[in-house]
Chain A
């Protein structure tokens, strides 16, 4: 018991030290570090984070550095520790698997601000952030529902985790809000990055009559396959229109620059504290890529309106009634789904033809 108290006291002291030292400011020569899970390339998850980094440099004038292609393992710990040792004042780690390593390092460098994307563990000097990707998915669903002629939509998905299911369900809910006949077929490829398989899955969906397809995987193979077959597709993460100029209707994209600027400014001003941020349209974290001219002007205008409503909070993709595939009402009319329920999503909504693999 005594030991426990002592430990608590030490922790409290450490906590105080953190607050005071981080608030002690940010010298002109201080830098900001970024850890990326894949090469930057010119489309995709890491590319979007790097755009945010460039915006941060431009708007705040701070110097940044990054390490790309860092595996989600003990390498990450080494890279994060090096950055902290070298004197990076703020470190952003942009992949889920860095969570435990960052937490571990953060305890050893109480004067540094650590910020981790898409995780759920926080610390005395470690905050987390993520984006409401499903808001963009909902809009692409509305476009898909209007653009489909066969009423069959297709989705190539990586792993059945809540974030991916939110995207799938928002997509079909958006589609059925304008086209109650729309149905969605889902194929799991059990990989984030396997262009061969993603392409094969896309071809399969199109041969099963899907004429608008999208993906929650990281390559551009699905958009390319749709272009080849003369069907429509949506990009994800980044604008992928160069991979399929005709097929690419738009893309559900995410943007981190504003958040990075705000975080660094907070640290500079000495009032940063670890937070959990789940930002959407209203925070500028989610938006659509330019709309393809193939989308009729009337629909484009409607989408622009819905974007405003997402920003103002009038529109919530998971507002009731939310009915799942088996007819069970998950959210009653008039209510909206809580963040907790969103984060535990493990079912398909009505309109999805495929069956979710049983756990």
Chain B
């Protein structure tokens, strides 16, 4: 295997992992505050269609990303009103949000099917990009790849080194305690949920504006669900989200390389296509076997409504 092949596998892996990282980190924040939003797929779809439409009309991919973010936030706001203000069931509402978002995006996107966008080039970081093998993979990438790393660093700092991060975790672990020392649990959860929606929207717009610059119905094709699984897979830790997303992207890309290479494999390609999902399930099973890991890391109030005593 020559080094350019390794580089191209790495490039493809990182690109495939990036939307997962952005969406999963957003969900991680929401879940850390105790809100389980299963609507990521729908929010991504809305982000994708809004991002595409706005980029198409303005010609500016940044307005597209902003529009995607706004669409994701709007969706998560609907969710937040139902589950936080009206105390609806989080799981049922999240599922409904997914179905709603996928359907609505298809409806809005009708006029944009088969339109095209200019491809947005990658941004090359001088010197670093000249490192053999790793350089082009890490430092000659789409700008949202760098954004995903900055987001990761920001979230690590926020959660574990900042006071608001501590409050957020407290709200997720024990909303009653946080409430009793004067924090407004519902407002904090609103903000965390909106942040999750914003990231899902950005992740969606990455798909339609940067990754494959076109819009088609159903183009998110399950990535929202994978992002949700990733958060559990990572036991609510940002670094493991990063690793898991690249692992997933790597398996997805590797099976294509194996097929193209003509290696003698007596495995149906359908099986290879399902490998990434299978890998996610296997890791989830392995993690869940050790109850302590899950219990120690899962936010205690995850998925539970909180009604402050008057």
**Known A-B contacts A193-B216, A195-B219, A224-B213; A354 and B259 likewise in contact (beta carbons under 8 Å):** yes
Residues of A near B119 (CB, < 8 A) are: 224, 227-228
**CB-based contact B260/A187 at 8 Å:** yes
Taking a contact as CB atoms closer than 8 A, the residue among B110, B214, B252, B259 that contacts A187 in the complex is: B259
The yes or no answer to A355 lying at the interface (CB within 8 A) is yes
Taking a contact as CB atoms closer than 8 A, the residue among B113, B207, B257, B266 that contacts A204 in the complex is: B257
Binding-face segment, B4-12, B163-171, B288-296: B4-12
**CB-based contact A41/B214 at 8 Å:** no
B141 CB to closest chain A CB, in angstroms? 14
Bound: A41/B115 CA distance, A: 9
**Known A-B contacts A220-B214, A354-B262; A207 and B5 likewise in contact (beta carbons under 8 Å):** yes
The yes or no answer to A358 lying at the interface (CB within 8 A) is yes
User: What number of A-B contacts does a CB cutoff of 8 Å give?
Assistant: 103
**Residue of B207, B213, B219, B256 with most partner-chain A CB within 10 A:** B256
Bound: A11/B219 CA distance, A: 47
Q: Which residue of B lies closest to A43 (CB)?
A: B114
**CB-based contact B211/A196 at 8 Å:** yes
**CB-based contact B270/A185 at 8 Å:** no
The yes or no answer to A243 lying at the interface (CB within 8 A) is yes
Taking a contact as CB atoms closer than 8 A, the residue among B110, B214, B259 that contacts A224 in the complex is: B214
B residues 28-47 near A (Cβ < 8 Å) are none
B residues 236-281 near A (Cβ < 8 Å) are 252-253, 256-257, 259-270, 273
**Known A-B contacts A39-B113, A190-B270; A185 and B260 likewise in contact (beta carbons under 8 Å):** yes
B116 CB to closest chain A CB, in angstroms? 6
The yes or no answer to B162 lying at the interface (CB within 8 A) is no
Interface size class of B (residues with CB under 8 A): 35 or more
**CB-based contact B268/A200 at 8 Å:** no
The yes or no answer to B221 lying at the interface (CB within 8 A) is yes
A200 CB to closest chain B CB, in angstroms? 6
The yes or no answer to B212 lying at the interface (CB within 8 A) is yes
Q: Which residue of A lies closest to B111 (CB)?
A: A39
Bound: A220/B213 CA distance, A: 10
**Residue of B114, B219, B273 with most partner-chain A CB within 10 A:** B114
**CB-based contact A39/B110 at 8 Å:** yes
**CB-based contact B114/A41 at 8 Å:** yes
**CB-based contact A200/B261 at 8 Å:** no
The yes or no answer to B192 lying at the interface (CB within 8 A) is no
Residues of B near A210 (CB, < 8 A) are: 260
**CB-based contact B216/A224 at 8 Å:** no
Taking a contact as CB atoms closer than 8 A, the residue among A41, A224, A228, A357 that contacts B268 in the complex is: A357
Residues of B near A193 (CB, < 8 A) are: 216, 218
**CB-based contact A221/B212 at 8 Å:** yes
**CB-based contact A219/B216 at 8 Å:** yes
Q: Which residue of B lies closest to A206 (CB)?
A: B8
The yes or no answer to A126 lying at the interface (CB within 8 A) is no
**Known A-B contacts A41-B113, A200-B16, A224-B116; A358 and B211 likewise in contact (beta carbons under 8 Å):** no
Bound: A200/B13 CA distance, A: 10
A189 CB to closest chain B CB, in angstroms? 7
The yes or no answer to A199 lying at the interface (CB within 8 A) is yes
A223 CB to closest chain B CB, in angstroms? 10
Q: Which residue of B lies closest to A189 (CB)?
A: B273
**CB-based contact A200/B253 at 8 Å:** yes
The yes or no answer to A8 lying at the interface (CB within 8 A) is no
The yes or no answer to A119 lying at the interface (CB within 8 A) is no
**Known A-B contacts A196-B211, A357-B267; A204 and B116 likewise in contact (beta carbons under 8 Å):** no
Residues of B near A44 (CB, < 8 A) are: 114
A357 CB to closest chain B CB, in angstroms? 4
Bound: A43/B269 CA distance, A: 28
The yes or no answer to A188 lying at the interface (CB within 8 A) is yes
**Known A-B contacts A243-B116, A354-B260; A207 and B8 likewise in contact (beta carbons under 8 Å):** yes
Q: Which residue of A lies closest to B262 (CB)?
A: A353
Residues 293-331 of chain A, each 1 if its beta carbon lies under 8 Å from chain B, else 0: 000000000000000000000000000000000000000
Bound: A219/B4 CA distance, A: 28
Bound: A193/B216 CA distance, A: 9
Residues of A near B259 (CB, < 8 A) are: 186-188, 354
**CB-based contact B214/A221 at 8 Å:** yes
The yes or no answer to A19 lying at the interface (CB within 8 A) is no
The yes or no answer to A70 lying at the interface (CB within 8 A) is no
**CB-based contact A355/B114 at 8 Å:** no
Bound: A21/B4 CA distance, A: 68
The yes or no answer to A337 lying at the interface (CB within 8 A) is no
The yes or no answer to A121 lying at the interface (CB within 8 A) is no
Q: Which residue of A lies closest to B256 (CB)?
A: A204
Bound: A201/B269 CA distance, A: 13
Bound: A354/B211 CA distance, A: 26
**CB-based contact B216/A185 at 8 Å:** no
The yes or no answer to A275 lying at the interface (CB within 8 A) is no
Residues 156-194 of chain B, each 1 if its beta carbon lies under 8 Å from chain A, else 0: 000000000000000000000000000000000000000
**CB-based contact A204/B260 at 8 Å:** yes
**CB-based contact B114/A207 at 8 Å:** no
**CB-based contact A200/B252 at 8 Å:** yes
Bound: A199/B8 CA distance, A: 14
**Residue of B212, B213, B266 with most partner-chain A CB within 10 A:** B212
Ordered by A's residue number, 21 sampled pairs between the chains whose C-beta atoms are within 8 Å are: A41-B114, A185-B262, A188-B269, A193-B218, A195-B216, A195-B219, A196-B207, A196-B212, A200-B252, A207-B9, A208-B5, A208-B257, A220-B114, A220-B116, A221-B212, A224-B119, A224-B214, A353-B261, A354-B260, A355-B262, A355-B265
A195-B214, A355-B265 known, 7 other contacts, Cβ within 8 Å: A41-B113, A187-B256, A196-B221, A200-B16, A204-B8, A207-B4, A353-B262
Chain B interface (Cβ within 8 Å of chain A)? 4-5, 8-9, 12, 16, 110, 113-114, 116, 119, 207, 211-214, 216, 218-219, 221, 252-253, 256-257, 259-270, 273
6 pairs of A and B residues whose beta carbons are closest in the complex: A207-B8, A353-B262, A41-B114, A188-B269, A204-B256, A195-B212
